[in-house]
Amino acid sequence: MDKLLTDCDSVYHLAAAVGVKLLTENPLASIKNNSRGIDTIFDLADQHRCKIFFASSSEVYGKADGGALCETDPISLGPSTVLRWSYGCGKALGEYLGLSVWFFS
């Protein structure tokens, strides 16, 4: 990834390992893949001074009531014993990392 970003001025991060089947069959690999991927791309984009676009997900809102969602709505996730919430948590982590880089770099 470091070599790929050497000559870039922007990065679009749209990827994530997703799916109930994937999370239930190999949760550790899925969670690590998502969290390490987000961390790596933000670190490298910052090092190379690349702008980054990070695509999040409505899953960060967790248990929505079915109405329209807004970025300022509170997050309401289920228990950590239910693996499906790890995807939304990972995307929320990406949002926090992105905002931290944007505000504090």
Q: Which residues are catalytic, by number?
A: 87
Token pair 């505000």 in the structure block, residue: 103
Token pair 């926090």 in the structure block, residue: 96
Question: Distance between CA atoms of 16 and 65, rounded to whole angstroms?
Answer: 25
Question: Distance between CA atoms of 39 and 55, rounded to whole angstroms?
Answer: 14
